[in-house]
Chain A
C-alpha cells in the first residue's frame, strides 16, 4: 500500500472501531500494533464446561496452564483474573512497555485487541451530564452509540430496570441473554421488594452485553451457554476487537502492521511519521500517513505523546475507576442445584447513586462462580485444603461476586510522566505512575461500599469479604491527555480531538476525557472512536 490516509496506533476497543469507521468512510488505513496472540484458546473444545471437564485430557493446558500460570501468584492482583488463554494480553509487557510506580500497577496490553481481549462485555451508555463533565458533546456522541451497537452485536433487555440510568437511546438489536439460576433468584427477590434497593439509591437488572444471543450473518454465532467464555470462544459470540480486525484485513484498503511497537511520532510537513520497532527483526521502521490516530489506550497514548513532544518529566493526570469486589453468599441458592446452561460473564448489573444526590457514583456487575475452578476459592480460605474444598463445594452454586466501579476525577495525587530509558536512542521511554486517592475520596468510597453491602444483605446475598484489587484494578484507564490539564498547559487535547502541538494527530481513545463515570467505559470508547473517525474523515 502507498502512503495511507490514516495510521491507527493500537488494535484495542478504540483502535478496531476507529479503523472500521475510517474504512467505511472511504479512507485507506494502516494499523501499527504489537499484536501478540495465543493459540491456546483454540484448544478449548466447543462443548459444555461439564462435558469438557469430564472428557478432555488436555484441559490443564488452558484451565491452569502448563506452567501453572493460571494460578495467581501471591500478591498479584491486577491481571489475576486472566486465564491462561487470555494471558497473551500482557505477556512481555514489562519489557516492551516499561513502567515505574509504587502505587499504580496497570495492566498494559501488548496483545491483539488490547484490553478488549479481556473485556467482560458489559455495555453502558453515559448520561448527558456525565458526557459534559468528560468534555464530550452529548448531541454529537449519542448517535454513534447506535452504530457501535450494530457493529459489536449487543443483546439487551428493553424492559430492564437499569435502562433508565445505564442504557439509553440505543434500540436493542438482539433479545437478552438468559441469566443463570443464581442471578434469577437475586433478581426475583429485588422485584418482590424493589424499595429495598431503591431506598438506598440502587438499581438492579439485566445489563446489555456485547454477546450474541442470535447468530449474525457473518462468522459470529450466538453464545451456546457452555460456560467456557473465560477460556475460549469458538463461536466468537463475545465481541472482541481482534474479530473486527480479522474482518478488516480482508479489505485491500487496510494494512495491519502487526508485531510492531510504536515508539514515537513526528508531525511535520503535513504528514505524520511513526517510528516503530519491528518485534520480529528488532529493526527500527518508519511509517508515514497524512493523519494519525492514537488508540494505544490512555496510558500508552500519553506515553507516546509526551515522548514525541519532548515533554519529559511533565505530569499529566490519570483517571481510573476505583474498584471493589464483594463476594457474597446468596442464601436462596445455598445447597441447591443450578443449571449447567449459562454464560460466564456478568449476569446482572446496576447503579448506586451518590448519597444525597442523583448522580451515579457506583456501577456494579454480578458474576456467578463456577468455571474459574474451586482451587482459587480454596486458595483464599484460612483452612486446610481438604476443608477449604468442602466449603467451596457447599458454597459454589450460591456464590455471587459483585464488582463495583466508582467514578473518578482528576486530583493532584494521580498523574503520570515519562523519562528516557537510557541506552538506545529509539528506546521506549519509561512511564512513571503515581495514583493516590484523597482522604475524602477514600471516605466517600467506604461510605458507599457500606450502603452497597447493606443493599446486598437486603437481597439475602450476604457479603463474605471485600477485596480491593489495587489502584489500577478496574483496568479502566482514561484522562491522560485531557482537554483541561491541571498540571501543565502545554500538554492537552484540543476540542476538535487533536493533540495540542501536533495538528495531524488525533486522540481516538479515552485519553482526552476530563472525568471518568462509574460505568464501564468500553462501549462509550467504541462510540467515541466512531465519532472521531467521522471527524478525521471530515477534516481530510
Chain B
C-alpha cells in the first residue's frame, strides 16, 4: 500500500532539513526518552491528531493550483 499523497512535499522536507541542521534548533530534534509508556501516549496522541490535520492538508492541497502554488 502506498500513501504517497499523504507524505510531506519536497519543499516541506527541505525546510525540515534546514531546521534540523541549524545548531540553534538541535533541541527540537532530540529523541523523547521519558520511558515506553510516555512514548506510547505520544504515539496515540499523534494518531488522534493525524486525522484532522491530514484532512486539513488534503483540503489545502486541493485548493492549491499546481502551477502557481498559490491558493485559489
Contact = CB atoms under 8 A, between A and B. Distances in A.
B38 A335 contact: yes
A336 B3 CA distance: 29
B3 A394 contact: no
B17 A373 contact: yes
Instruction: Give the interface size class of chain B.
Output: 35 or more
Contact of B32 (A385, A386, A394): A394
Interface string A367-386: 00000011100111111111
Given A53-B26, A335-B39, A390-B46, A384 B20 contact: no
A285 interface: no
A57 B25 CA distance: 12
B63 interface: no
B6 A387 contact: no
Contacts of B38: 335
Contacts of B10: 71, 74
Interface in A319-341: 331, 334-338
Given A387-B46, A387-B53, A397 B8 contact: no
B68 interface: no
A396 interface: yes
A102 B45 CA distance: 43
A60 to B, nearest CB: 4
A484 B53 CA distance: 59
Contacts of A375: 13, 16-17, 20
Interface residues of A, number: 41
Given A379-B7, A383-B46, A393-B30, A334 B17 contact: no
* Highest count of chain A CB atoms <10 Å: which of B6, B17, B36, B43: B17
A98 to B, nearest CB: 28
A335 B8 contact: no
Contact of A389 (B16, B21, B33): B16
Given A60-B21, A71-B17, A384-B57, A378 B8 contact: yes
B41 to A, nearest CB: 9
A54 interface: yes
Interface in B1-19: 3-4, 6-8, 10, 12-18
Given A53-B26, A337-B33, A394 B20 contact: no
B14 A385 contact: no
* Highest count of chain A CB atoms <10 Å: which of B7, B34, B54: B7
Nearest to A56: B23
Contacts of B57: 384
A202 to B, nearest CB: 26
A60 B14 CA distance: 12
A391 B17 contact: no
Contacts of B32: 335, 393-394
A487 interface: no
A478 B26 CA distance: 43
A59 B26 CA distance: 12
Interface string A396-423: 1100000000000000000000000000
A431 to B, nearest CB: 31
A331 B40 CA distance: 11
B70 interface: no
B23 A53 contact: yes
A538 B50 CA distance: 69
B35 interface: yes
A281 interface: no
Contacts of A117: none
Nearest to A52: B23
Contacts of B20: 373-375
A71 B29 CA distance: 17
B54 to A, nearest CB: 7
Contacts of B59: none
A379 B23 contact: no
Contacts of B6: 382-383
Contacts of A396: 31
Nearest to B19: A375
* Highest count of chain B CB atoms <10 Å: which of A53, A59, A70, A335: A335
A80 interface: no
Given A375-B17, A397-B33, A391 B43 contact: yes
Nearest to B13: A379
B9 to A, nearest CB: 9
Nearest to A59: B21
Contact of A57 (B4, B23, B26, B50): B23
Given A334-B39, A378-B16, A386-B53, 9 more contacts: A60-B21, A337-B33, A338-B31, A383-B53, A387-B50, A389-B28, A393-B30, A394-B43, A396-B31
Interface of B: 3-4, 6-8, 10, 12-18, 20-21, 23, 26, 28-40, 42-43, 46, 49-50, 53-54, 57
Interface of A: 50, 53-57, 59-60, 63-64, 68, 70-71, 74, 331, 334-338, 373-375, 378-391, 393-394, 396-397
6 nearest CB pairs, A to B: A335-B39, A382-B6, A382-B3, A396-B31, A337-B33, A335-B36
14 contacts: A60-B18, A375-B16, A375-B20, A378-B16, A381-B7, A382-B3, A382-B7, A383-B50, A384-B54, A385-B15, A387-B50, A387-B53, A390-B42, A394-B43
